[in-house]
Chains A and B, each alone.
Chain A
Amino acid sequence: EAGVVQSPRYKIIEKKQPVAFWCNPISGHNTLYWYRQNLGQGPELLIRYENEEAVDDSQLPKDRFSAERLKGVDSTLKIQPAELGDSAVYLCASSPGAGKGYNTGELFFGEGSRLTVL
């Protein structure tokens, strides 16, 4: 079974440029998460989707960040314009979702997209 797929793995851009990250969760997983991991820190939640609905976006800097999950499957996270402080690893994760009998509470993470803003 394929895991969570993210792209690109690495991205280097100049400040004020836009950037987008893509995530394809594990098939059948209703819940999708975007986390940001700064160097030497643990991941911090940016946004959580249940199917196509964003149910927790309280940590998403909405002035420059946006996310979508139009059909409740894959998702895109966008930053426009990027700032130096946005340099980080952006992690996507998925889980079966509440109410699914096989939901063990585990999150399945992709390998991440490392962003460097110059």
Chain B
Amino acid sequence: GNSVTQMEGPVTLSEEAFLTINCTYTATGYPSLFWYVQYPGEGLQLLLKATKADDKGSNKGFEATYRKETTSFHLEKGSVQVSDSAVYFCALSVQGGSEKLVFGKGMKLTVNP
């Protein structure tokens, strides 16, 4: 079946630290890959996405590259800020779009000043 595995949290970093959140997937067919973020008190929102192998999604200083050979979509940011404190979810869809998103468990990030 289709599934997403994320690194376990929670994670606490200091401001300006480098961030990597690992995400690997198992899917039939060719999935689209997403990172969603949930800030405190808010709904889930799309952070970035990639729809085919070697695509790089980027937004708000975050990047993730679709690696078909390692079935991975790791999220990175070179210098985190306090405002990046949130829960991050990796997700995939294999129906051409996000009609049926399958989410990972999420990872809570806290950034301290």
A residues bordering B, Cβ < 8 Å? Answer: 3-4, 31, 40-45, 48, 56, 91, 93, 95, 98, 103, 105-112
Q: Given A91-B43, A103-B97, 7 other A-B contacts at CB below 8 A? A: A48-B99, A91-B44, A95-B97, A98-B97, A105-B49, A109-B44, A109-B45
Known contacts A48-B99, A105-B93; decide if A43 and B51 are in contact (CB<8 Å).
no
**Contact, CB under 8 Å: A43 / B103:** yes
A-B contact pairs, 28 of them (CB 8 A): A4-B43, A40-B105, A41-B105, A41-B106, A42-B4, A42-B89, A42-B103, A42-B104, A43-B101, A44-B103, A45-B100, A45-B101, A48-B100, A56-B100, A95-B97, A105-B32, A105-B97, A105-B98, A106-B49, A106-B98, A107-B44, A107-B46, A107-B101, A109-B43, A109-B44, A110-B43, A111-B42, A111-B43
In Å, the complex CA distance between A3 and B45 comes to 11
CB proximity of A60 to chain B, nearest CB, Å = 13
Nearest A residue to B89, CB-CB? A42
A106's contact among B4, B42, B46, B104, by CB below 8 Å, is which? B46
**Number of residues from B at the complex interface, CB < 8 A:** 22
B91 within 8 A of A: yes
Secondary structure call for the A interface: loop
1/0 contact string of B32-48 vs chain A (CB within 8 Å): 10000000011111100
Secondary structure call for the B interface: loop
CB proximity of B88 to chain A, nearest CB, Å = 11
Nearest A residue to B38, CB-CB? A109
Report B-chain residues with C-beta under 8 Å of the C-beta of A95. Answer: 97-99
Report B-chain residues with C-beta under 8 Å of the C-beta of A112. Answer: 43
**Contact, CB under 8 Å: A105 / B43:** no
In Å, the complex CA distance between A106 and B99 comes to 9
